[in-house]
Structure 1
Amino acid sequence: MAEATPTTLGDLAYEVRSKNAGPFWVTMELFLRDADGYRIAADETFLNEGTVARLYGIDEADVQMFRIPSLNVVKISFPRPVSQASLRDRDVHSGQHHVPLAVLPLPAT
């Protein structure tokens, strides 16, 4: 059976995860399956600070991106919308923040 054509960023990855990076920051990591997937995910015309800002409703200037080609990894960090474990915090461990990133449709080829 042939493998399905990837349609989302998550389809290119072994894992897409998010976690808190202290009480004030969220970090997300894309562990891409191979160099081809990394090439797509690391393409600054597709996945960039503006894309992340739109997905998460945050200021583009607050987004930090780290592309690590030797590991086929893209790491993204941004300030949490509310501090960890505060009254309005709905995800203490930031474990669900990765979902919009994982379901991001790939650019048309």
Structure 2
Amino acid sequence: MSETLAEGRTLADLAIEVRSKNAGPFWVTMELFMRDSEGYAIVADESFINEQVVSGLYGVDARSIQIFRIPSLNVVKVSFPRPISQGSLRDRDIHAGQHHVPLARMRVLGE
């Protein structure tokens, strides 16, 4: 039995795609492209994804997080400052391509 089935569904299970990328050298943006309006309603709910949740997942100041909900596209975008600027000596993910994983693995409660 897969981990997802044993523990319930995740955001990634409800999405067409969950991705992250640079939004310039100092910001990361993550996008959740949901399969349908039902999945979007779960993700867009401010009690599910909000600044405090993202702050806990990524260790960034909640006041610096921006969340954009786009119901006409079933998309939620989350942006925050990169902890290390792109291409700096300690940057381990220059394209910010792996930042989405903690968000994608969030469990959907009540499933």
RMSD: 1.2
Aligned to 1:93, what secondary structure does the other structure show? coil
1:85 aligns with 2:87: yes
Shift of 1:80: 0.2
* Paired position in structure 2 for 1:65: 67
Calculate percent identity across the aligned residue pairs.
68
> By percentage of residues, which structure has more helix?
2
Aligned to 1:41, what secondary structure does the other structure show? helix
Report how many residues are paired. Answer: 105
User: Residue 53 of structure 1 aligns to which amino acid in structure 2?
Assistant: S
Q: Which structure 1 segments of 5+ residues have no match?
A: none
* TM-score, normalised by the number of residues in structure 1: 0.93
Q: Which structure 2 segments of 5+ residues have no match?
A: none
Shift of 1:7: 0.9
* TM-score, normalised by the number of residues in structure 2: 0.91
| Structure 1 residue ranges (4+ consecutive) displaced by more than 3 angstroms after TM superposition | none
* Paired position in structure 1 for 2:101: 99
Query: For 2:48 and 2:29, how far apart are their aligned partners in 1?
Result: 19
